[in-house]
Each structure stands twice: as C-alpha cells, then as structure tokens.
Amino acid sequence: MRLSLGKRKAQPRQEKSSPHLTKAAKGIINRTNTFRQEKGRQKLTVSPKLKEASRYFAEFMARTDQYGHNADGNQPAERASRYGYRYCIVSENIAFQFDTAGFTTEELIQGFFQGWKSSPGHRKNMLDPGVTEVGVAVARSKQSGYYYAVQMFGRPKSLRIEFQVVNNTATAIQYELGSQLFPLPPRAIRTHQLCRSENLRFHWPDQQENTFVQPNNGNRYTIRREGQKFRVRKE
C-alpha cells in the first residue's frame, strides 16, 4: 500500500532541522510493535534482509523521486528475494512526506506511523497476524526534499505451517481448508503447507456433524471410524 502525506511543492525552504533517519526507522518499528501488542498481535522482529530491501527502495525513490510499489520495475516480493529473503508472506507500506519547514525526527516518525495507521489498507498490513518480521527505512531526496519511507513485513518460508491429514477408513472423506474443498480417498495421506493459518473442517458422511480444527505446524490428523461415527485425532 502507498500513501502520500503533506503537500508536494517544487522547492522547499531551508529546513528547520535535520531528522535522524536511522532513528526515525527504529521509531516507526517501535510504534508499530506497540500498536500490534495493543491489538493482541505478536511483536515483530527486525529482519536484516527486509531492512536492506527497504533501504534500497527508499533510497531509490529518494534518488529518482519516482514513487509507487513498482517504481523500480519490481514488486515488493521481488525486492525481498533480491536481498535473500526466502518468504512465505511479503507485504509493503510506502509513503512520502514534505514540509517546507522541515521535520524533527519525532515529527517524521509520527507522520509516517499515524498516516499508515489511519489508512485501512496500511493498517491491515501493520496488524497482519501472519507476519513475524519487519524492515523499515527512511530516505530524503536531495532534489525535492521529500522524505520517503518503506515498511516491509514478512513471514519467512522456514515458518510455514506443515501438517498431514490421514484417512484410515474405507470411506472417501471430504474436508475444507480455508475456502478450498479436498477429497481424501480411503487409506490416503495428504500433506499441506500453508503460509497462513486456516480453519480445517471435516465433512462427514451420513449427515454427521462436521468437525473443525485449527492446524499447527507438525500436526497429523488421523481419521478413524469408531462404530457408526467418524472421528479425527490429532497425533
């Protein structure tokens, strides 16, 4: 998601201050983590690779004054991969600020953070329960005086959710994972790999009430028949 803050003017007047851009990036991360924890989300850790990808793109926009998620001809996930981030999930917030009076470090932090927080799409990225890592960078254009910020979120491929469903019965079973329906033949095993947690719903024959579970990494769900009823056991 992208966001512009303030008015774009041709030439800035002399700035009142020179904000510390590294401190601004750290401040945005701290505000984001506080916000997430207030909303019951886990705290994000800083990924050096996402940080480098964010720095590259912020500096690119500052150097060229080209703005947009594909300003350099690439998508956020492509930039993350370029810097060695093996991802399950990648998302990105970008924004720019400009004021002829300039900014303090705190003003820069507050402007970017509050702007993203107040925008539904950016807010969704900030509060995404599926992401675990973050990288942020801020850069200033020498030509225009605009400040560009990039906030990248990710979940590494190493944290994908892998689980199995095993049908130990002589009956074909259907189950629903997220919004997709899967048939599972008798005596069959299927392995799933997810980047986001999804509800798993078993559709039993003979109008038996459906069973819901929430898969976690490493789970194995075995379907058995006990008398006239089908049962699923987590192993």
pLDDT tens, residue by residue, 142-151: 999 999 999 9
**Among 23, 16, 140, 154, CA closest to 77:** 154
pLDDT of residue 206: 84
Q: How far apart are CA 165 and CA 221, in angstroms?
A: 5
Is residue 14 predicted with pLDDT exceeding 80? no
- pTM here is 0.86
Domains 19-157 and 159-232 share a fold: no
Q: What does the mean pLDDT of the chain come to?
A: 93
Q: How far apart are CA 117 and CA 113, in angstroms?
A: 6
Helix-then-strand count for the chain, H and E: 5, 13
Domain spans of the chain?
A: 19-157, 159-232
The answer to whether residues 224 and 205 touch, using CB atoms and an 8 Å cutoff, is no
Q: How confident is the model at residue 8 (pLDDT cuts 50, 70, 90)?
A: very low
pLDDT of residue 163: 98
Tens digits of per-residue pLDDT, 36-89? 999 999 999 999 999 999 999 999 999 999 999 999 999 999 999 999 999 999
* Strand duo 87-98 + 2-6: pairing: parallel
Q: How far apart are CA 106 and CA 21, in angstroms?
A: 10
Is residue 11 predicted with pLDDT exceeding 50? no
pLDDT of residue 96: 97
Q: How far apart are CA 143 and CA 65, in angstroms?
A: 8
| 207 φ/ψ sector (left φ>0, alpha ψ -120 to 50, else beta) | left
Sign of CA dihedral 125, 62, 136, 27: negative
**Among 150, 41, 44, 156, CA closest to 89:** 156
The answer to whether residues 136 and 164 touch, using CB atoms and an 8 Å cutoff, is no
The CATH number of domain 19-157, selected from 3.40.33.10, 1.10.3720.10, 3.40.50.1820, 3.30.70.270:
3.40.33.10
**Among 152, 128, 150, CA closest to 139:** 150
Q: How confident is the model at residue 3 (pLDDT cuts 50, 70, 90)?
A: low
User: Domain 159-232: which topology?
Assistant: Immunoglobulin-like (2.60.40)
pLDDT of residue 190: 98
What is the arithmetic mean of pLDDT over 214-228?
Answer: 95
Q: How confident is the model at residue 207 (pLDDT cuts 50, 70, 90)?
A: confident
- Terminal CA-to-CA distance of the chain, rounded, Å? 41
